[in-house]
Chain A
Amino acid sequence: MPDALAAANVLDRQITRRSRLLTLPALLVIGVFGVLPLLIIVVYSFLAPAPYGGVEWHFSTEAYVSFLFQEDIFDGTLSFVPDFLLIYLRSLIYAVVTTIVCLFLGFPTAYFMATRPPRQRGFWVLLITIPFWSNLLIRTLAIMMIIRDQGILNGIMIDLGLIKQPVVMLYTDGAIVLGLLYSYLPFMVLPLYSSLEKLDFRLVEAGFDLYATRWQVLRRIIIPLAKPGIIAGSLLVFIPALGAYVAPLILGGGRHLMIGELIAQQFGTSRNWPLGAAQAIILMAGVMVALFFYVRNTGGKVQHG
């Protein structure tokens, strides 16, 4: 009877329409105030800088060119200037180091948490979650206050007579990496924990049953099975670390610039918005490459801790 079928079709379409309507506000807000600004900086990267900040609306590839080259003001020749590239390289190294150390520290931690009795696990997760949601600025400040020359570490060492002069810890490479580590360690632990918690330990038993040592079981059974968590965690550390702003700002003292500060500078004191935009686009390209590898490796959705 066409009536009932008709009713079913109308109902289907009503449901679909309602779903779209419900999702619309979120898409509008993020579209207008999230995606549109990103498109604007893409456009900005192809414009010329205005003298006091902002842009002048004529097309120019000056920003991208000046990323690698500098024009000699006298004869107009272009010479290769590696400064920006070095900053990117430095950021890349920091991010990679941070990710690796986070992995080596985070994996045992996540494993330990996942192997606690079920009732205890909630407690351990809570312990990791608190730093995860705490203010990043304040956590980084806490580190700064400890490692600076008048800070508590130096103070204790001098008091104990271990050293005479304060050891310079702040404003070094190590300080920045420490800051990055501290910031992003929970980002590694949570996805790893999520992955390891779902591990079927009977597979571990099977490994032992087949004469494997603890190390072999770890290397050939546990780690491969935890791969999704490892990849998710690594991505959640690498991407923010690459574009980090707070850690180098507070712990780097302007001496070991990272990409984040560099971009901020262009929009601040250097008043070269198109250059900043170009630098941001290049960073974004790097992020997308990392994301591309992630999607290829897992074939799908982003996992969150």
Chain B
Amino acid sequence: MAEALARKGLDLKHQPGFHAIAVICLLLLYAPILVLAVLSFNSGDDLVHFSGLSTQWYGKALANEGFHAAATNTLIISVTSMILSTAVATAAALGTTRTRAWRGQGAAFMVINLPLMVPEIITAVATLSFFSLLASLANINFGIGNLILAHTVFCIPFAYMPIRARLEDMDVTLENAAADLYATPWRAFRRVTLPLLMPGITAGAALAFIVSFDDFTITQLVAGPGQTTLPLFIWSQIRRPITPELNAMCSILLGISILFVLASYLIARKRA
């Protein structure tokens, strides 16, 4: 008994069964998307039996007019929301972190994080009501701008978090050193703070993009005609008989999300 323990070492951290559960969990998390992805390469049009490898469905998906239109819309909305929310979040992070405390700072922090607290469906109907009221009362309709504004709102906290985290990790004496070396506050910001903040801003922007890109609930309720985004388009395709073309489209979207996550992760790793 003692020899066995000596050989293996008493692993204090080991809890029986946890390893198995963890692996099962991860398998379960990935299985459905892997199945989805694999079937998108099916050369037959059956979604159960795999006949062979083919990229025909990707060709069909990429040629799909509706897919194109949706992709264009999504790009416009998500890129704009990403830019707006990241800019606003950067300013907010600079104003609420590492600075002399001001009255109302706590409340400001709560407001910035508000979109994370409210269930999406509530935000969706609230936004819908807001814009319809705006249209009926003052005849104001920003068109696709409505969606952009709605997306920007919930993207802000996602961009804010990594920027704030990065700012808190930064050494305060660096800005002192810059001032000591004749840099005015603006120049110190541009030459020292901003370059060092960039990884955080990039990570925040990536998150903001993904969150806007993937949104379904809010977009579905707020979007007007001609404002179909990729998730909405995919939703509309479910009514029809499902072919692997749908799988291909889904896989493309998944691929983009994963790409952004990996990029975000690698950027964070590079700075550590």
Contacts and interface: CB of A to CB of B under 8 A. Distances in A.
- Check whether chain A touches chain B (CB < 8 angstroms): yes
Interface of A: 12, 15-16, 18-27, 29-31, 33-38, 40-41, 44, 54, 105-106, 108-109, 111-113, 115, 122, 126-131, 133-139, 141-143, 145-146, 150-152, 154-156, 159, 182, 185-186, 189, 201, 204-205, 208, 214, 218, 239-240, 242-243, 245-246, 250, 259-260, 263-264, 267, 273, 276-277, 280, 283-284, 287, 291, 302, 304
Contacts of B19: 112
Interface stretch (B1-9, B61-69, B86-94): B86-94
Most chain B CB atoms below 10 A, which of A35, A122, A129, A138: A138
B119 A240 contact: yes
B32 interface: yes
Given A25-B88, A139-B32, A239-B119, A201 B13 contact: yes
A243 B261 contact: no
User: Is chain A's interface secondary structure helix, strand, loop, or mixed overall?
Assistant: helix
A81 to B, nearest CB: 22
Interface string B4-28: 0000000011111111011001101
Nearest to B18: A108
Most chain B CB atoms below 10 A, which of A21, A133, A243: A133
Contact of A22 (B48, B94, B111, B113): B94
B269 A122 contact: yes
Most chain B CB atoms below 10 A, which of A12, A23, A44, A139: A23
B126 interface: yes
Most chain A CB atoms below 10 A, which of B32, B47, B217, B250: B32
Contact of A135 (B94, B133, B153, B231): B231
A35 B100 contact: no
Contacts of A122: 265, 269
A21 B104 CA distance: 13
A82 B207 CA distance: 42
A284 B161 CA distance: 24
Nearest 8 A-B pairs (CB), nearest first? A243-B119, A22-B95, A155-B48, A37-B126, A112-B22, A26-B92, A142-B32, A23-B95
Interface size class of B (residues with CB under 8 A): 35 or more
Most chain A CB atoms below 10 A, which of B25, B111, B149, B231: B25
A23 B108 contact: yes
Contact of A35 (B47, B91, B111, B221): B111
Interface string B67-110: 00000000000000000100111011011100110101100100
Given A142-B36, A185-B25, A259-B121, 20 more contacts: A19-B94, A21-B95, A23-B91, A23-B95, A26-B160, A27-B92, A29-B88, A29-B156, A34-B153, A37-B130, A41-B129, A112-B18, A134-B254, A137-B216, A137-B234, A143-B32, A152-B48, A201-B12, A246-B216, A246-B217
Contacts of A131: 29-30, 33
Given A29-B156, A40-B130, A152-B47, A142 B125 contact: no
Given A36-B130, A137-B231, A186-B29, A204 B13 contact: yes
Interface of B: 12-19, 21-22, 25-26, 28-30, 32-33, 35-36, 39, 47-49, 84, 87-89, 91-92, 94-96, 99-100, 102, 104-105, 108, 111-130, 132-133, 136, 149-150, 152-154, 156, 160-161, 207, 210, 213-214, 216-217, 221, 231, 234-235, 238, 242, 246-247, 250, 253-254, 257-258, 260-262, 265, 269
Given A40-B130, A137-B235, A152-B48, A30 B115 contact: yes
Contacts of B123: 34, 37-38
A298 to B, nearest CB: 15
Contact of B234 (A27, A138, A146, A291): A138
A213 B113 CA distance: 42
B234 A277 contact: no
Contacts of A239: 117, 119
Contacts of B250: 135, 138, 141-142
8 contacts: A26-B156, A27-B112, A30-B156, A109-B26, A135-B254, A145-B32, A205-B12, A267-B125
A196 B22 CA distance: 14
Given A150-B47, A280-B121, A108 B21 contact: yes
B108 A267 contact: no
B198 to A, nearest CB: 18
Nearest to B21: A108
Contacts of A112: 18-19, 21-22
A277 B156 contact: no
A146 to B, nearest CB: 6
Contacts of A133: 207, 210, 214, 257, 260-261
Nearest to B260: A133
Most chain A CB atoms below 10 A, which of B87, B114, B126, B213: B126
B120 A138 contact: no
Contact of A134 (B89, B95, B118, B214): B214
A41 B221 CA distance: 14
